[in-house]
Amino acid sequence: MIDIIIIGAGTAGLTAAIYARRAGRTAVIFEAHAYGGQIINTPEIENYPGIANISGFEFATALYNQATALGAEVKMERVVAVSDNGAAKLVRTDKGEYECKAVILATGAKNRPLGLENEKALVGKGVSYCATCDGMFFRKKTVAVAGGGNTAIEDAAFLSNYCEKVYVIHRRDAFRADAKEVDRLKGRENVEFVLNKNVTGLIEDNGRLCGVEVTDKFSGEKTVIDVAGLFVAIGQAPDNTPFANVAALDDGGYIKAAEDCKTGTDGVFTAGDCRTKTVRQLTTAASDGAVAALAACGYIDSL
């Protein structure tokens, strides 16, 4: 019987494991892909308190090493279901079944697609959701970034170091991203902002992306921008459907939970970007991880 099973090895999940182990509880983390979550693809982190500058990979690796050094176990298995059996919870993965006293859902969120007809077919053929993963394939080429948040601005800044030109396509004329980062990007000569426009079509040639159609949201006028690559950064979507039986979801698919990280099921908690919240940052993910782990420990003590 495991004390706490944590689903997801991102910032929230790894932080939860650290707090669980420091409280003397056994903790097993299940991860379907790779530890670190979305932050592992961020080239630079400059807004985490106490750390002036660090790469996402370094940050995630440090968290992973800290959690495992304390005795947390990481299993590379996809969790497909969680059942509430009262004092015991049953967690089923693609490789087996495990019993525990408490569960922390820290599944994060995945990149949100544009939803265009041929988008999926062009993934890896000009369409990408990770600039740091695929940016080098477009060295000295023209690319576009779709989005207006911090990820889009970070992606455009990263790409501007390697690409001949970078278009930033945003449906508004104001950005959700940090103003400082937007101003910094505006100072780069090879970056052009395409505002109040939506990407409405993907143009392909011989199975590869060669341009994007953009539509003005006011006039409806359509234009084509010739690009070799399109990096989609329009937000994220949670993947919590397998856990809807133990954690109520809102209309967007996020787990309904307040700052106490408690779901509607005793012994099931949530942490990080997968839950309903206004701010999704590294600091809030780490905070959630700590809160959820301590709440899980308190729950176990009450059994």
pTM here is 0.77
User: Is the predicted pLDDT of residue 218 greater than 90, yes or no?
Assistant: yes
Q: Are strands 88-93 and 97-105 parallel, antiparallel or unpaired?
A: antiparallel
- 8 Å CB contact between 209 and 229: yes
User: Is the predicted pLDDT of residue 31 greater than 90, yes or no?
Assistant: yes
**Percent of the residues in the chain that have a pLDDT greater than 90, as a whole number:** 86
Residues 125, 207: Cα–Cα separation, whole Å: 7
Q: What is the CATH number of domain 2-110+236-302?
A: 3.50.50.60
Both ends of the chain: CA-CA distance in Å?
14
**Percent of the residues in the chain that have a pLDDT greater than 70, as a whole number:** 100
Tell me the average pLDDT across 255-274. 97
Distances (CA, A) of 198 to 48, 160, 217, 220: 32, 21, 7, 10
Tell me the average pLDDT across 249-258. 95
Cα 274-30-56 angle, rounded to 5 deg: 65
User: Is the predicted pLDDT of residue 41 greater than 80, yes or no?
Assistant: no
Mean pLDDT for the chain overall: 95
**Tens digits of per-residue pLDDT, 89-119?**
999 999 999 999 999 999 998 888 999 999 9
Which residues are the active-site residues?
130, 133-134
**Picking from 103-107, 194-198, 207-211, 232-236, which range would have the lowest pLDDT averaged per residue?**
232-236
User: Is the predicted pLDDT of residue 239 greater than 80, yes or no?
Assistant: yes
- What is residue 303's predicted lDDT score, i.e. its pLDDT? 94
Residues 33, 107: Cα–Cα separation, whole Å: 11
List CB contacts of 58: < 8 A, sequence separation 6 or more.
none
Tell me the average pLDDT across 218-243. 95
Reference 257, options 12, 11, 4, 1; nearest CA is 12
Could you tell me the strand order of the sheet in which 222-226 lies?
Answer: 197-205, 208-216, 222-226
Residues 232, 239: Cα–Cα separation, whole Å: 18
- What is residue 284's predicted lDDT score, i.e. its pLDDT? 95
Tell me the average pLDDT across 55-68. 96
List the domain boundaries for the chain.
Answer: 2-110+236-302, 120-232
Q: What is the CATH number of domain 120-232?
A: 3.50.50.60
Intrachain domains 2-110+236-302 and 120-232 with the same fold: yes
**Tens digits of per-residue pLDDT, 131-168?**
877 888 999 999 999 999 998 999 999 999 999 999 99
Residue 277 one-letter amino acid = K
